[in-house]
Amino acid sequence: MSETKDPKMPAEKAPPGASNPVADKPPAAHSQPPPPPAPPGRPPPKNPGKVTVTIDGTEIAVEPGTNMIEAAAKVGSAIPYFCYHPRLSVAANCRQCMVQVSNAPKLVPACQTPLAEGQVIETGSQKARDQQRANMEFLLLNHPVDCAICDQAGECRLQDYYMTHDNLPSRLEHGKVQKNKRKILGPTIVLDQERCILCTRCVRFMDEVAKEPQLGVFGRGSHEVLDIFPGQELTSNYSGNIVDICPVGALLSRDTRFKARSWFLSASPSTCTGCSRGCSIWADSYGQVTHRFRPRENEAINASWMCDKGRASYRDLSVDRLFVPLVGRGNQQREVSREEARQAAAEALKAHLGKGLAVLVSPTVSNEDLMAALHLAREQLSVKEIFVGGRAEGEADHYLLTADRNPNRKGLEWIAKGLGLTLRPFSELQAALKKGSVQALWAVGHEVPTDAATFAQSLEGLAQVVVQSTHSTPLTAVSTVALPAASHLEDEGSFTQLDGITQRHRKAYPAQELAMPHWQWVTELARGLGSESLWRSARDVFQAVKGEVPELADFGWDTQAPRNKERRGINPISTSADGRPPGYREFGAPRVRGI
Amino acid sequence: MSDLPSSAVRPPSQDPLAEDVDELEAHLDSQRMYINMGPSHPATHGTVRMRIELDGENIAKADPEIGFLHRGFQKSCENVTWTQCLPYTDRLNYVSAINNNLGFLNAVEKLIGITVPERAQYIRVIASELHRICDHLTMIGATGMELGGFAPFLLGIEGRELLWDRVSELTGARLTTSYGRIGGLNRDLPEGWTDKVLRSLDKVKTICAEVVSLLSRNRIFVDRMRGTGVISTEDALDFGFTGPCLRACGVDYDLRKAKPYWVYDQLDFDIPIGRNGDNYDRYLMRVEEIIQSDRIIRQAIAKLPDGPIIVDDWQVALPPKPEVYGTIEGVIAHFKLVMEGVQVPAGEIYDATESPNGELGWYLVSDGGGRPYKVHLRAPGFPLLAALPRMIEGKMLSDLIPTFDTINMIGGEVEQ
């Protein structure tokens, strides 16, 4: 845009009669009568440096270049649109955003039309509404009668705009055009060409954001379809985003298809823990089951996107979880109560105070968990060095995914430095184990950067292995005490991603059975070791320890937190029937769900 | 037992008169007696407890205690869509559920700003008046029974059952009718139903005449009703009386005339007015209102127009089933209306209809969504029950039963 604009500007402002070598000037002998006076120049802008327009009767001054849809949203006028996306180029092909403006005889698409000084825009005039209604009718003309079996139902723009902008019966007299109903595009995406309204958001996303152009629109007229390039498979690590931006149910995730109805899901603001990027996400859950992760808008980190690897990480939350404490080793392992587990763990640690006790923490747990654990290590265990576990490095990709697959390495570094503890790499722990200088191990988090089974074998000779783990792993199999930990969705907390941005996450649902957050187990252990600390929440931990960590001292644990539960799912039974809020239902035994 | 006077345990062989002459002048007013009436008592319709302090045979103090039927009606409505509130309204005054259903719908429709089709308005009037007759027959029959005559009750229930049969043909249920939908009705009159109703009304008329002949000039009935449970016009107004109990005091106030809704202003009927504000007048109001309701139904059936029974607006009314199963437009509208509810514009409204016991008022607040933000019900029975101590204190215990009967307090709507 800027290349075309700049040379024009001086030409318009040039005084009449100025020499222009390029212009074909007639000779003086053939001089014409003087040209008519130029039309009056544009009036000066009402607000210098801004564009002042009137939208639905409200005058507003916006930055030049602001999109009309965004400007209208500022005055509370919602212009309907399908193909427009603030982070993609403008295509103006859905024709749903047509509005009436004072400087054009016909309706104009709001997504594409630049705002002009003094322009008067009517988003809801009769003419505009007629057009919007007619457009909806065309979009629905060949749309299959699929709402009952469509995963998009409940969050579908076609449904929303039908109710607000159309609301009339069908006038179709013959059959609908039939296209490919289920085309597998790749490992994660399935396409229903009949539902597609050809807005090309997905095509533009693959071109402009994922930079892996693989989708296109083929054919003409009624035979026009969205499809993948012939012979290709949609294997992009960002393919999941096209499901999010698809305004209808044409592109669906094969992972979550037919698993949950969108109106039952509660959306909790959280953070993706798949890598050190720490994308902001919505965790959509029903009861104590998470069904999907969706990117949450965050300009500083992930814009509106997230990668498929992170998207798939929700599945770990319900596979091989450890929910009950275990005491004993190998065949002797038995399930015990929280209290029994706490005593066993405290005794195990007490027996090895200052005698070959190693502390292993994983940078996959939250700042609060780390604060509590490192505080205990320093105060009660008198440990100076902390071994760092966590997931092994992976491969980074060209956009969001980083090589470090641990979401909180930065936080661990800050907290260890603040508490005066030294971090030691995992290889040193392995060496120490080999040397035999370690007699007991306390692990917060089960992830290790090597093969877990091999590492677990090397622990078999230790007198005590206390593991706080969310999952049943080889590590918990060889532990003397295994404490079930809550995942990050099951409690509040914060993570610090690789650029040093700390993000709060909210609790989606409480932990199941006897699992507790890491910080809570640590608090229990600390009390078993004679401490009198009374941390009752992750917030308490943060407030108590943050003074020692300068980087986190200014973080507003409450003020910088996202709003809790932006959307609560509709619940089959009424909200207050059992005194629990909508997101906190159906805990315990599963039961038949229905309306 | 230990509180009994010592004379009660005196050996029978001794002559009490010989020793203690004072016993002949027993001081009966020496102590007040506290008795419970209810929560389960044959003469309390619904579950309500009266804590009564007796001074001899006079009531020194009466304290009605409600809450045994509390269901959290108002709060429950906030958790469901506007349409889903309807079954809750059935359980308010369960003897005349249609009046509650249609009263609630009328308020919601006013909040949205829609008018229901004329045919639906006529059918609403017919259904409401049918249930009004049922309610009044129940009250008259029960009063007769509790004052000692069983026949009026059997006759009243016979008439009520007859009408409830018609109601069940119309709505599918005798009590929990859930009749009507926002914007009109969920079902039209069944084939041949109006003729059946007219025949049933003829029968009810003869039943009613028989009940009246058994009661209105019955010495026992009149003695216990006339001049008992009196409330002055000023007190009735101050307490917030409405309906037959207010009109028995001589106040001409009936919402069907004072603020006509539906097609009541196109029908010819009278509002009976009493004079004394006593139990007998309240009974007579009901008797006369049955006759007037009968007139209303006959006129409405005669004038019943053809046409749609619900508005043709898919923002409010569910699309016809062929459209839902066959077109995407229909299935979207159906889905949105069922899952998200009718989108009622943000605002608040107080709207009332005349239910058998008086002004059934709804205060509704919408935040613009598919579920109510707030539902408040002004139950007509609440002020009536609140005034009961005023009406009964200082009177005989035997006056309590007829008074409690004629205010016709219904636990379902008072306690919600």
Mean pLDDT per segment of 10 residues, for chain A of length 595 residues?
43 46 59 76 82 94 93 94 94 93 93 92 94 94 92 91 91 90 93 94 94 93 92 93 94 91 88 94 88 93 93 91 92 91 93 90 95 93 92 92 94 95 93 91 94 92 93 93 94 94 91 91 92 87 94 92 72 43 41 33
pLDDT for B75:
87
Contact B332 A170 (CB under 8 A): no
pLDDT for B134:
93
> Considering only CA atoms, which of B89, B61, B45 is closest in space to residue B390?
B61
Side chain identity, residue B346: A
User: What is the distance in angstroms between the Cα of B325 and the nearest Cα belonging to chain A?
Assistant: 8
B332 touches chain A (CB under 8 A): yes
Contacts of A146 in chain B (CB under 8 A): 328
**Structure token digits, residue A25:** 């000037």
Residue of A nearest to B71 (CA): A577
B87 touches chain A (CB under 8 A): no
Q: Are A292 and A508 in contact (CB under 8 A)?
A: no
pLDDT band at B7 (very low <50, low <70, confident <90, very high): very low
Query: Residue A39 CB: number of other CB atoms within 10 A?
Result: 6
* Average pLDDT estimate for B274-299: 93
User: Can you tell me whether residue B290 is helix, strand or coil?
Assistant: helix
DSSP assignment, residue A227?
E
Q: Are A293 and A300 in contact (CB under 8 A)?
A: no
Instruction: Return d(Cα A471, Cα A378) in angstroms, integer.
Output: 26
B74 touches chain A (CB under 8 A): no
pLDDT for B22:
61
**Structure token digits, residue A251:** 């592109």
Residue of A nearest to B337 (CA): A163
Name residue, tokens 């008795």: B35
Residue of A nearest to B332 (CA): A159
Q: Is A477 left (phi over 0), alpha (psi -120 to 50) or beta?
A: alpha
> Considering only CA atoms, which of B99, B83, B90 is closest in space to residue B340?
B83
Q: Are B108 and B373 in contact (CB under 8 A)?
A: no
pLDDT for B405:
86
Q: Across the interface, which of A159, A169, A577 has its CB nearest the CB of B327?
A: A169
In chain A, how long is the greatest CA-to-CA distance? 113
Residue A377, phi then psi, degrees to nearest 5: -60, -40
pLDDT band at B161 (very low <50, low <70, confident <90, very high): very high
Q: Which residues contact B220 (CB under 8 A, 6 or more apart)?
A: B147, B148, B149
Q: Are A186 and A239 in contact (CB under 8 A)?
A: yes
Contact A169 B331 (CB under 8 A): no
pLDDT for A36:
79
Instruction: Return d(Cα A564, Cα A583) in angstroms, integer.
Output: 11
Question: How much of chain B, in percent, has pLDDT values that exceed 70?
Answer: 93
Query: Which residue of B325, B336, B342 is the best one to mutate when testing the A interface, meaning the one whose CB has the most A CBs within 10 A?
Result: B336
User: What is the distance in angstroms between the Cα of B359 and the nearest Cα belonging to chain A?
Assistant: 29
CA B139 to chain centre: 9
pLDDT for B28:
58
Contacts of B323 in chain A (CB under 8 A): 169-170
Query: Residue B28 CB: number of other CB atoms within 10 A?
Result: 9
Instruction: Return d(Cα A207, Cα A245) in angstroms, integer.
Output: 14
Q: Across the interface, which of A154, A162, A574 has its CB nearest the CB of B339?
A: A154
Contacts of B325 in chain A (CB under 8 A): 145
Contacts of A575 in chain B (CB under 8 A): 78-79
Q: Across the interface, which of B79, B319, B330 has its CB nearest the CB of A576?
A: B79
Query: Residue B233 CB: number of other CB atoms within 10 A?
Result: 15
Q: Across the interface, which of B80, B327, B329 has its CB nearest the CB of A574?
A: B80
Instruction: Return d(Cα A191, Cα A187) in angstroms, integer.
Output: 12
pLDDT for A37:
80
* Average pLDDT estimate for B319-327: 91
First to last CA, chain A: 53
* Average pLDDT estimate for B216-231: 90
pLDDT of B20 over the 60 cut: no
Distances (CA, A) of A141 to A164, A170, A272, B329: 17, 8, 40, 9
Query: Which residue of A138, A165, A167 is the best one to mutate when testing the B interface, meaning the one whose CB has the most B CBs within 10 A?
Result: A167
Q: Are B169 and B192 in contact (CB under 8 A)?
A: no
Query: Residue A337 CB: number of other CB atoms within 10 A?
Result: 12
Taking the whole predicted model, whether its pTM rises above 0.95 is answered as: no
B71 touches chain A (CB under 8 A): no
pLDDT for A12:
45
* Average pLDDT estimate for B293-311: 93
